[in-house]
Structure 1
Amino acid sequence: MNELPVDKGTRVKLHFALKFPDGEVIDSTFEKEPASLEIGDDNLPENFEAYLMGMKAGDRDSFQVPPEKAFGQHNPNNVQTFKRHEFSPDMVLEPGVMISFADARQSELPGVVSRVEGDEVEVDFNHPLAGRTLTFEVEIIDVEPAGPAH
């Protein structure tokens, strides 16, 4: 078992789970293939990578991640109101439905319908996990120097 600690310039093989504090699992690799990532490759948000720093193969830990370090606080400015006629007539518009919009740069911007009242449709563009404290559970399987892919 190698002793290399997780740091910039390492490739890490790990199992992780993201859970709500009540234990409900949002995402997990524990029952699947482990994830493999290079520190700094943006596969994991930087704040989550920070929790891995210094861990070694065989380490297992669990972290409480506050909203500021996860997906940010819920921002009321990210909730927009549209008119019903701005959507295609056959589109199902009810709370919980996800709609994809194009932003000013034509990038995809997902929004979730939060309220439909008369001719008004309220869409929330906050990340679905914004404002939530999450539990980040990690088991490091292997750490190796990140070199050119073999």
Structure 2
Amino acid sequence: MSKAKQGDNVKVHYTGRLKDGTVFDSSEGREPLGFQVGAGQMIKGFDAAVDGMEKGQKVTAEIPAAEAYGEVNPELYFDVPKANLPEDLKPEVGQQLAMSQPDGQQVPVKVKEVKEDVVIIDANHDLAGKDLVFDIELVEIA
């Protein structure tokens, strides 16, 4: 039976959860996820887990933060003066916002801390710094 390898287009069903069992994403009830193995479309650890799988095979992959969304990077915390925020915005810790980059692209961020005159914004991915567990089933190798 053939095995998935670098460059193959594959489809997988998956459930992603944190180490405590909290599910953060799943393909259950949806079409399987398609991607090209080794093309950088997936987090490094997920890609590595699928590489070498056979069609129909199921695996559980424990992926450390470094091979997932990386460690929390303090350089991705930004002080934003409240005067620069929309007047009607009442920032709260944990609130999801979008920040515009110079090229116009929107980046999801969240409020880390609210001070008197400044809001500290966190541009790290929500799953940064977290070890992840994925249950993966390879359903197709194209």
Partner residue in 2 for 1:55:
53
Pairs aligned (count): 142
Q: Distance in 1 between the 2:49 and 2:12 partners?
A: 13
Matched ranges for 1:28-39 at <5 A: 28-39=26-37
Instruction: List per-residue Cα deviations over 1:120-146 (Å, max 9, x = no partner).
Output: 2111111111100000110111212xx
Shift of 1:17: 1.3
Residue 74 of structure 2, aligned match among 73, 76, 79: 76
* Counterpart residue type for residue 142 of structure 1: E
Instruction: List per-residue Cα deviations over 1:21-46 (Å, max 9, x = no partner).
Output: 11111100133322222324544234
Q: Is there any run of 5+ residues in structure 1 with no aligned partner, and where?
A: 145-150
Q: Distance in 1 between the 2:48 and 2:54 partners?
A: 14
Instruction: Determine helix, strand or coil for the equivalent of 2:11.
Output: strand
Instruction: List per-residue Cα deviations over 1:49-72 (Å, max 9, x = no partner).
Output: 111111011110111111100001
Q: Distance in 2 between the 1:4 and 1:104 partners?
A: 46
Partner residue in 2 for 1:147:
none
The answer to whether the 8 A contact 2:46-2:61 is kept is: no
Instruction: Determine helix, strand or coil for the equivalent of 2:47.
Output: helix
Identity %: 27
**Where in structure 1 do 4 or more consecutive aligned residues deviate above 4 Å?**
none
Partner residue in 1 for 2:87:
89
Q: Distance in 1 between the 2:7 and 2:75 partners?
A: 38
In angstroms, what is the RMSD of aligned CA positions?
Answer: 1.6
Shift of 1:115: 1.1
Q: Distance in 2 between the 1:118 and 1:7 partners?
A: 54
The answer to whether the 8 A contact 2:98-2:107 is kept is: yes
Q: Distance in 1 between the 2:80 and 2:43 partners?
A: 31
Partner residue in 2 for 1:135:
133
Matched ranges for 1:93-132 at <5 A: 93-132=91-130
